[in-house]
Chain A
Amino acid sequence: MGEKKRSTSPRQFAATAITRRKLREGTGVTGGPRTLSAPAAAGEAHAPPPDEPSTITRPGTGRRGAAAMAQEIAPIAVRPSMLSGISEQSVVSHYEHIYGTAVRRLNAVRRELAALDAGVAPHVVRGLKGQEISLMGSVALHELYFGNLGGFRRAGPNSGLGRPDWHEVPDTFAAEIAADFGSANAWRREFAAMAQSLAGDAGWVLLTYARRQKRFLNHIATDHTQATVDAAPVLVLDMYEHAYEMDYGANATAYIDSFFKNINWDAVLKRIDAARNHRPPPNEDPSSTRDIPSLSVEELAAQIAKGSGVQIVDARQRDHMSRDPDLMAGATWRDPDRVEEWVAELIQDKPVAVYCSYGFDVGCNVAKTLTEHGLNARFVRGGLSAWYASGGARALKPAAG
């Protein structure tokens, strides 16, 4: 592992996700200090909720103060139904329960840390800070993991998947990875063998770009905190058993094979590009390219808590709706394909929040249509799944008829 040329100015790059999050928070100046205000967290003292956002909070448009270190739920970056061999049920459970719990716990730990006074016992500080770093790792690694899935369908029907000459590593990247590992296949073998070594145990396998050595490196993290110093994770494989037990039981080998088929190399290459050029990691929120007013689940929870009279529209497609027993508390389901039929029922001078399942297209499109009808409508980033992940309340769907 010869150290190549040392980077001239090694940058501070701890907590990539937080950096990304801060950027995503957008114009924190207008909103004032914000805390996680999901209903599950009710009971704690909250900072006053932000005013009605007067600007569209878009990721990557500003910074916020470090005071309110609230971790927001990131929308799931992959369509859960689009994976090959990894079921929608498994990935949604992974996102809503495992990732969501990590975010909520992180906020709880930070609230405790903020409340500590000078006389606190050292073991308490150490315990909480240990939890914080572990949860930060879990949050960031999960976001990266979901974000580097989804390549199977994206590759398209003509990608040659399954043909003998098809390569799991795209040609554009093969030469680069070969420079550090001998060949793309050698890299894949090492990565897969490392994953295999964690079967039945827990941990992560990462391909990272080490800025100091200016090279790629595979490494194992046997918990959420192990990371190479000053290296950017660009491809992340979750080898905790929650990632595959539901689909594969103890058969980790099959899961690892599926993972390779599902790698979204577009996303990976964008991360590499950013890491190399000392830019923040790319925004992987699937709706970030849509120029439509939106709000986060935390902002929605704050609006509800404030009693803003926000009208919540569940715009999941009929088939999504029919297989799920519940919806967001306070929401009314409306068919996204028949907006014209129900748009007149909405109150014109009250804000509207529209959500779909995961925050990809449906909610955006409905919000757009509503806006065209003169309504103050926003779509909920991350959709219902993000709401549940944040601990948001759910209600039983009204009986049909």
Chain B
Amino acid sequence: MDAVTPLPASARQSAAPETVTVRPLLLKPQYMNGLSERLLVSHYVNNYGGALRRLNAIRTRLGGVDWARAPVFEINGLKREELIAAGSVILHEIYFDSLGGRGNDPPTGLEQPTAELAQALERDFGSVAAWRAEFTGMAKALAGGSGWAILAWSARLGRLVNQWAADHAHALAGATPILALDMYEHAYHLDFGAKAAAYVDQAMANLNWPRIGARYRLAIGEAAEQDELFRPFGSPADEAARISAEELKAALAHDDARRPVLLDVCMAKDLPRRTDMLAGATVHAPEALPRWVEELPRDRPIAVYCIAGFQISGNAVTELRRRGYDARALAGGIIAWHAIGGATVPLDTSTYEQTS
């Protein structure tokens, strides 16, 4: 039940058929090129998280179905909803993975497809520009409604295809999505209103081509350098140093001795972005670690989180583990916690260190 999985990530989801775990954001929502944090976080928490929660609820319900006796409309209804929710989850993960800058840097808008993918696009569409024109044209044609513009690899056709989808369940049989552009209105209305074309152009300027290229390599059966690309920037490389939102939720239900101590680390400049925290957490400044570290128990697990699970909690956990604490970083941060529907309380900064 590891939430932060190296690729093939979408394949790994089906390895745990009972539940689907939340996938952390790889993009830094506050450092995007013309897409707002408000839009991206709302999209991730409400729409991606909503689909995830719905899918798990449907799976739970399916687990209780008496297949021999259940009325067909119930089976049809549940299986249809399962297909739609699963499609939504997977396509949203590919979408969010496809966006973002490199490392800690915002997207420049100047990135080009990796050499290998560029070659494939040329082979199958004539040129990268021709592919882009078809792909964006197809996306813009979905304005005012809903759907996905998908670049997929079809092994049967032996080529990349631009695939149109009017809902989460539309897919070219047997094809593997490489890049998915969300054309549901929740993907752009907050920032762009009805101007879908402006959104499409802006999203194209935010593409993370190294990750899309890696997806392509995996789709055609080649190995990809995975780990770095598909792990949130700055999160601990060691899997034992990470905890998923679902695992944390389960761990918090334990009795006091095994219950992890919750640490909320947040840079002073990011406090205005915050409104809430996990119940029982204490908020600290990451640079004041030497001052607050002494208060921590050495005999209990410690869960550290920040906003999105990048280097703030990552660095704190690395330092705590170096000092011998059993610390783990919450994958995806409080944003992923929100996405699984985790409860929070209003932010209390009374424990926050004054830094000058």
CB-defined contacts of A240 to chain B, threshold 8 Å: 144-146, 185
Q: Shortest beta-carbon distance, A241 to chain B, in Å? A: 4
The answer for the CA separation of A134 and B186 in the assembled complex, in Å, is 21
Choose one: B184, B190, B193, B195; the contact of A201 (CB below 8 Å): B184
A90 — nearest CB in chain B belongs to which residue?
Answer: B193
Chain A contacts with B in 67-121, Cβ cutoff 8 A: 93-94, 97-98, 101-102
Nearest A residue to B143 via CB reads A101
Determine chain B's interface SS by DSSP, over half rule.
helix
Q: Return the contact of B42 from the options A93, A222, A249 (Cβ within 8 A).
A: A249
Q: Which residues of B contact A98 (CB under 8 A)?
A: 144, 194
Closest CB pairs A-B (n = 9): A245-B189, A97-B194, A241-B185, A250-B46, A202-B146, A98-B144, A200-B47, A242-B185, A241-B186
Some 9 contacts from A to B, beta carbons below 8 A apart, are: A94-B194, A97-B194, A98-B144, A200-B51, A202-B146, A241-B186, A242-B185, A245-B190, A246-B189
Interface string of B136-148 (1 = CB under 8 A from A): 0000000111100
Q: Are A222 and B167 closer than 8 Å at their CB atoms?
A: yes
B166: interface (CB < 8 Å):
yes
Pairwise interchain contact A249-B190, C-beta atoms closer than 8 A: yes
B50 is an interface residue with CB less than 8 A from chain A: yes
Interchain CA distance A101-B141 in the complex, whole Å: 11
Given contacts A223-B166, A242-B185, A246-B189, contact A199 B144 (CB under 8 A): no
As a 0/1 sequence over residues 178 to 197 of chain B, the CB contacts with chain A under 8 angstroms (1 = contact) are 00000011100110011100
Name B193's closest neighbour in chain A (CB-CB).
A93
- 17 further A-B contacts with Cβ under 8 Å, apart from A98-B144, A201-B167, are A93-B193, A97-B193, A97-B194, A102-B144, A199-B50, A200-B186, A201-B146, A201-B184, A202-B145, A202-B146, A202-B184, A242-B185, A246-B189, A249-B190, A250-B45, A250-B46, A250-B50
Contact of A250 among B42, B193, B194 (CB under 8 A): B42
Which residue of chain B has its CB nearest to the CB of A134?
B145
Cα of A376 to Cα of B193 in the assembled complex, Å: 39
Task: Tell me which residues across on chain B come within 8 A of A202, comparing CB atoms.
Answer: 145-146, 167, 184-185
Complex Cα gap A47–B167 (Å): 38
Q: What 1/0 flags go to B28-45 for Cβ under 8 Å of A?
A: 000000000010001101
In which size bucket is the chain A interface? Answer: 10 to 19
Residues of A within 8 A of B (CB): 93-94, 97-98, 101-102, 199-202, 222-223, 240-242, 245-246, 249-250
Complex interface: chain A residues within 8 A of B167 (CB) = 201-202, 222
> From residue A200, how far is it (CB to closest CB) to chain B in Å?
5
Which residues of the other chain, A, contact B194 by a CB distance below 8 angstroms? 93-94, 97-98, 242
Q: How large is the interface on B (under 10, 10 to 19, 20 to 34, 35 or more residues)?
A: 20 to 34
A203 to chain B, nearest CB (A): 9
Among B6-51, those with CB < 8 Å from A are 38, 42-43, 45-47, 50-51
Tell me the smallest distance from the CB of A249 to a CB of chain B, in Å: 5
Q: Which residue of B lies closest to A89 (CB)?
A: B193
B21 to chain A minimum Cβ distance, whole angstroms, is 20
Q: Give min CB distance, B191 to chain A, whole Å.
A: 10
Residue from B38, B45, B143, B184 in contact with A241 in the complex, judged by beta carbons closer than 8 Å: B184
Q: Look across to chain A and name the residue whose beta carbon is closest to the beta carbon of B191.
A: A245
A324 to B166, CA, bound (A): 35
CB-based contact B50/A200 at 8 Å: yes
The residue in chain B whose Cβ has the minimal distance to the Cβ of A250 is: B46
* Nearest Cβ on chain A to B313's Cβ, whole angstroms: 26
In the bound complex, residues from chain B placing their C-beta under 8 Å from that of A223 are: 145, 166
Q: Nearest chain-B residue to A98 (Cβ)?
A: B144
Q: Which residues of chain A are within 8 angstroms of B193 by Cβ–Cβ distance?
A: 93, 97, 246
> In the complex, A101→B197 CA distance in Å?
13
Closest to B47 in A: A200
- Which residue of the partner chain A has the closest CB to B185? A241
B38, B46, B51, B145: most-surrounded residue (chain A CB, <10 A):
B145
A245 touches B47 (CB 8 A): no
Cα distance, A75 to B190, chains bound together (Å) = 26
CA distance A110 to B47 in the complex (A): 35
Complex Cα spacing A245 to B194, Å: 10
The answer for the CA separation of A202 and B47 in the assembled complex, in Å, is 12
Chain A: minimal CB distance from B186 (Å): 5
B342 to chain A, nearest CB (A): 17
The docked-state distance in angstroms from the alpha carbon of A202 to that of B186 is 10
Q: Which residues on A sit within 8 Å (CB–CB) of B145?
A: 202, 223, 240
Across the interface, name the chain A residue whose C-beta is closest to B194. A97
Closest B residue to A101 by CB, please name it.
B144
Task: Please measure, in the bound complex, the distance between the C-alpha atom of A241 and the C-alpha atom of B195, giving whole angstroms.
Answer: 13
Alpha-carbon gap, A262 to B167, bound state (A): 30
Q: Complex: how many Å from CA A346 to CA B145? A: 44
With A93-B193, A97-B194, A242-B194 already in contact, the answer to whether A250 and B186 are too (CB < 8 A) is yes
Contacts of B45 in A (CB 8 A): 250
Are B185 and A245 in contact, CB atoms less than 8 angstroms apart?
yes
B residues 136-188 with Cβ under 8 Å of A?
A: 143-146, 166-167, 184-186
In whole angstroms, what is the CA distance A240 to B189 when docked?
11
CB of B161 to closest CB in A, whole Å: 16
Please measure, in the bound complex, the distance between the C-alpha atom of A93 and the C-alpha atom of B193, giving whole angstroms. Answer: 8
Please indicate the chain B residues that have their CB under 8 angstroms from the CB of A246 in the complex.
189-190, 193
- Most A C-beta atoms less than 10 A away, residue of B38, B51, B146: B146
- Write the nearest CB–CB distance from A83 to chain B, whole angstroms: 17
- Does the CB pair B47–A242 fall under 8 Å? no
Closest to A102 in B: B144
Inside 8 A of A250's CB, which chain B residues have their CB?
42-43, 45-47, 50, 186
Report how far A241 CA is from B184 CA in the complex, Å: 8
C-alpha gap A245/B46 in the complex (Å): 12
With A and B bound together, what is the CA distance between A199 and B53 in angstroms? 13
**Using Cβ atoms and an 8 Å threshold, which residues of chain A touch B143?**
101
Q: How far is the CA of A135 from the CA of B70 in the complex (A)?
A: 38
B184 → chain A, closest Cβ, in Å?
A: 6
Q: Closest residue to B187 on the A side, CB-wise? A: A241
* Cβ contacts under 8 Å, A199 to chain B: 50
Interfacial chain B residues near A241, Cβ < 8 Å: 146, 184-186, 189
Provide the bound-state CA to CA distance between A94 and B194, in Å.
8
| C-alpha spacing A222/B84, complex, angstroms | 12
A371 to chain B, nearest CB (A): 37
